[in-house]
Structure 1
Amino acid sequence: MVSDELGARLKAYEGRAAAVAGVGKDPVNEPMIRHWCEAMGDTDPAYAGPDAVAPPTMLQAWTMGGLSGHTGHTGRTGAYDELFDLLDEAGCTSVVATDCEQEYLRPLRPGDEVTFDAVIESVSDRKTTKLGTGYFVTTRMDVRVGQDLVGTHRFRILKYAPARQKGKSPRARRPRPVVNRDNAGFWEGVERHRLLIQRCTSCGTLRHPWLPGCNACGGLDWDTVEASGEGTVYSYVVMHHPPFPAFTQSDQATDAAGPYAVGLIELAEGVRIVSNVVGVPYDKVRIGLPVRLEFRRYDDEDGALVLPVFQVQEGREGGVG
């Protein structure tokens, strides 16, 4: 059991710096902006050309070290690692990201050299959730160019000890999507076995995922069109994480234990959606593979969850090499 004494020790980390005068690994640059926009399907002209700015949502990207890590001055103080060590020693070995907030003060432009400071802003009192008992930890990162504050990034995680089940272990439930006022219509459509795509009523541009405004013209008014369900695998990854019961249980909605494929599916309408590719072994998934939408129900015993997945079309397993 996590003790109140631990909570007091954790609270002592509030206000401590996690990074001081960290330096971004790369300056803001056009190739990274282009790759980001291509991956997101964002065609806003503000992000291309001689007067390009970086998409505001890239704010954290300029502070990250990538797969090879930072080669320059990262500014890490060790406080965050110490905090995690205390939680791990107390049995809070699991972690889940809960939410992220960003504030943008001015656009970043190619050539800007980014620096950042990070602080452990708050540690909550001990909380008991369905996942288990632990603490919410919030960090704030201030991003600067020279002396100018250009944006703030807040990231909150729950570090917790997994709940122990008494008696017969219940079936593990799949994680639920975060439904908010911007995407509620999408999930309502999924419940009715309809995949709805937002359409800007000003310029007609389709967009996914759902957003409060058009990323082409900035218009705020929209309606929806229903996807035909036809698509192809635009890209994919194979997940090899340690087994999680909700994804490996043998039932009608589970495809296989072990690794599985998550695809970026390009729909016939031109937008892309991330979902599971099912119907073939994970090592048979290929870019260009034709797929078709279907809806599957999960967790029927404890509040059904309907999700869109993409079934490989019969006889097309060979895909495109």
Structure 2
Amino acid sequence: MSFESVTPARYARFIPQRYRLEAGYCKKCDRYYFPPRLSCACDPKCDCDEPMEIRTLPDIGELLTFTIVHTPGSQFSDERPFAIGIVELAPGARITAQIADTPFDQIKIGMKVKIEFRRVQTVGEGGVLAYGYKVVPV
């Protein structure tokens, strides 16, 4: 890929953790890191000397915590209020994502959620669509 042919959409496709939910995995510690990193940082005494494996995370996880956003930044003002939460997909691999298709009073800590690839926002005056992941109850 040459620099002359890089569009914003094409550039974003080359960020694996954005679209494929790839994480780093330490075999010695059995721990995931999202986004991926080059080396393990689980424990200074671990002495992991192998490079991290890249693994695709599962698409179902557990909601650890959440909040309702009433005053978002301008790029999300048309969606307010909305819920956002922290989801653990694998030991150590946590993501922050908007909780979709769920009334606020039905969102519960500990509930199982599924990752879905959706439109996250519309960017700029030209209306460029930005995609990413949101979570919905299982």
1:235 aligned onto 2:65? yes
Query: Would you say 1:247 and 2:76 are equivalent positions?
Result: yes
The correspondence of residues 254-269 of structure 1 with structure 2, limited to 5 A, is 257-267=79-89, 269=90
**Alignment check: 8 A CA contact 1:201 1:221 kept:** no
The change in CA–CA distance for 1:212 and 1:288 in structure 2 (over 3 A counts) is same
Between 1:291-300 and 1:221-230, the stretch displaced more is: 291-300
- The alignment's TM-score, normalised by the length of structure 1, stands at 0.33
Calculate percent identity across the aligned residue pairs: 24
Change in Cα spacing, 1:196 to 1:214, as seen in structure 2 (3 Å) is same
Maintained 8 Å contact 1:280/1:312: yes
- Which of 96, 115, 135 pairs up with 1:274? 96
Structure 2: tracts of 5 or more residues without a match: 1-10
Among candidates 200, 204, 210, match of residue 36 of structure 2:
210
Q: Is the 8 A contact 1:200 1:219 kept in 2?
A: no
SS at match of 1:299: strand
Q: Deviation at 1:204?
A: 4.1
Question: What letter corresponds to residue 224 of structure 1 in structure 2?
Answer: I
Partner of 2:16: 188
Relative distance call for 1:201 and 1:266 in structure 2 (3 A) is closer
1:308 aligns with 2:133: yes
SS in 2 for 1:247: helix
The alignment status of 1:299 with 2:122, answered yes or no, reads: yes
What is residue 226 of structure 1 aligned with on the other side? 56
Deviation for aligned residue 1:282:
2.9
Is contact 1:198–1:207 with CA below 8 Å preserved after alignment?
A: yes
The whole-number CA distance in structure 2 between the counterparts of 1:205 and 1:242 is: 33
Give the 3 Å change call, closer, same or farther, for CA 219–262 of structure 1 in structure 2. Answer: farther
Shift of 1:189: 4.5
Distance 1:220 1:237, change over 3 A: farther
| Amino acid paired to 1:310 | V
- The answer for unaligned runs of 5 or more in structure 1 is 1-178, 250-256, 314-321
CA-atom RMSD, angstroms?
Answer: 3.1
What letter corresponds to residue 207 of structure 1 in structure 2?
Y
Conserved 8 A contact 1:186-1:196: no
* Corresponding position of 1:65: none
Letter in 1 for 2:130: L
The structure carrying a bigger strand percent of its residues is 2
Aligned AA for 1:196? E
Query: Displacement of 1:203 after TM fit?
Result: 4.2
Structure 1 segments, 4+ long, off by >3 Å, are 201-204, 217-220, 300-304
Report the CA distance shift for 1:210/1:243 in structure 2 as closer, same or farther (over 3 A). closer
Per the alignment, in what secondary structure is the counterpart of residue 190 of structure 1?
helix
**Larger relative contact order, structure 1 or 2 (CA cutoff 8 Å, min sep 6):** 2
1:219 and 1:209 map into 2 onto residues whose CA distance is: 19
Aligned CA distance change for structure 1 residues 186 and 274 (closer, same or farther; 3 Å): farther
* Counterparts of 1:201 and 1:274, CA distance in 2: 24
